[in-house]
């Protein structure tokens, strides 16, 4: 079954570099958190502009209450941009 894509604006609650180039990010997104399970994928737009154009797929490592958690490794432009996100950013 294919679900209709939904777009969610989410607040970054916390971002921490676990080890060199690997980050844990905690996002507040109540609607998304209620609809997903760890292991499912979300597509994240890493910039407000068109470079990189495409959203990036990420597997969720946690979802509870209003919170979604993602682990990622810096591998290119998109994840490099994500590694510079700050707490409180939307």
Q: Which CATH number fits domain 11-83: 3.30.470.10, 3.20.20.210, 3.50.50.60, 2.40.30.10?
A: 2.40.30.10
pTM above 0.85?
no
- What confidence score (pLDDT) does residue 33 get? 87
Q: Which residues contact 55 (CB under 8 A, 6 or more apart)?
A: 43, 44, 45, 46
pLDDT digits (tens, 9 = 90+) for 38-56: 788 888 887 776 666 678 8
């Amino acid at each position: 079954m294919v679900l209709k894509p939904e777009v969610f604006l989410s607040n970054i609650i916390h971002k921490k570099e676990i080890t060199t180039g690997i980050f844990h990010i905690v996002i507040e997104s109540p609607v998304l958190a209620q609809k997903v399970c760890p292991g499912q994928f979300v597509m994240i737009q890493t910039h407000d502009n068109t470079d990189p154009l495409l959203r990036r797929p990420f597997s969720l490592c946690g979802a509870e209450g209003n919170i979604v958690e993602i682990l990622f490794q810096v591998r290119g432009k998109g994840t490099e941009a994500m590694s510079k996100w700050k707490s409180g950013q939307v």
